[in-house]
Each structure stands twice: as C-alpha cells, then as structure tokens.
Amino acid sequence: MSTFENDNYKWRETYFVLFDSSRRPALDKLTKSLTRLNPRFELVNPTEDIDGRFESVTIRSPQDYAALDISYLSGEEVNEQGVELSLEMKPYATEPDEKQKLARLPECDARLDILHFEQLGASTANEPEDDAMLDPGALLLVLDALVDLTGGVGVDPQSGTIV
C-alpha cells in the first residue's frame, strides 16, 4: 500500500537517486543499511524481485512526523530522464563535484524514487499546517545512505539540487 492511500500522510516532495542498474542493491542489504541509520525507523512492506534485489519499501519515522515511499525503476525512461536532468540543471552546477555528478546522469539507467510524506495531525491548534513539526532529517539520512549504497547521484528535481 502506498502512503498516498493513507489519509494520515500528505505528500510533500520527491527526490531521486540515479545510478547504474548493475549497482541495484539486494533487499536485505538495503534494509540493514536503513535500520542502522535509525533503529526507530519502521520499515513496512519491503519487496524484492525473484533475485532478491530491492523493489520497494515504506519507511515511517514517527519522531520526524514523516514517511518515505522508496521504489526502484530502470530502463530507457530513466536514461532519458538523466539526459533531461543534466541539461536542465547544467546552468546551476557551479562546483566541480556538482559538474562531475551532473555529467554522470546521462549514463544512469536505474533510479530510486523517494517520496517524502508529512504525517498529518502533527501540528497543534495554534500552529498552521505549514509550520508543523515535519523534520527533513529522515529524508536526508535515507537519501545519503541510498547514494552511498548505489554509488549514485541524488537529485532534488524541484530545487535543481544535486546531492
């Protein structure tokens, strides 16, 4: 079940990790890595393909008032997106490491989608919903771990930021 179907959560943003499909992690390796990040993470519905490689998982982080849906995609569509992202983001890459990461995007044929959700009801009566207690800590920890695990490039397509 996707977190989109859960009325207790509201989608906020989507990040990507683009990488070479040969670096697709095994489900057990990925879940162990995520559990080590924060033992309070709740991993829900982890799925794998017939070879034991990661397909999808939901992470709930109640202390951050957040949840993450992570799923694997591969193929020509991902490759085309890498080319598009590298062209769109090129004017904003100013640092040498950003330019190097950007140059890798057209070669990527696999992607992890990381959908970030806010747990609703986290704000108080005196606090507007936008000022709720959503903490991006879980998202940032998981994003960094997935970049390391896959040797990939993290992308925030909304802001045009390379991780």
Q: What is the pLDDT of residues 60-119, one digit of tens each?
A: 999 889 999 999 999 999 999 999 999 998 888 888 999 999 999 999 999 999 999 999
Q: Mark residue 93 as left, alpha or beta (left: phi above 0; alpha: psi -120 to 50; beta: remaining).
A: beta
For the chain, how many residues are written? 163
Instruction: Please provide the average confidence, as pLDDT, over all residues in the chain.
Output: 90
Task: State the total domains in the chain.
Answer: 1
Three-state SS for 48? strand
How is the beta sheet containing 66-74 ordered, strand by strand? 42-48, 54-61, 66-74, 110-119, 9-19, 153-156, 161-162
Give me the pLDDT at residue 126, please: 47
Tell me the two tokens of residue 74.
């591969």
Give me the pLDDT at residue 128, please: 53
Q: Give 4-18 pLDDT, tens digit per residue.
A: 888 899 999 999 999
Range of the domain at 102: 3-162
Give me the pLDDT at residue 1, please: 53
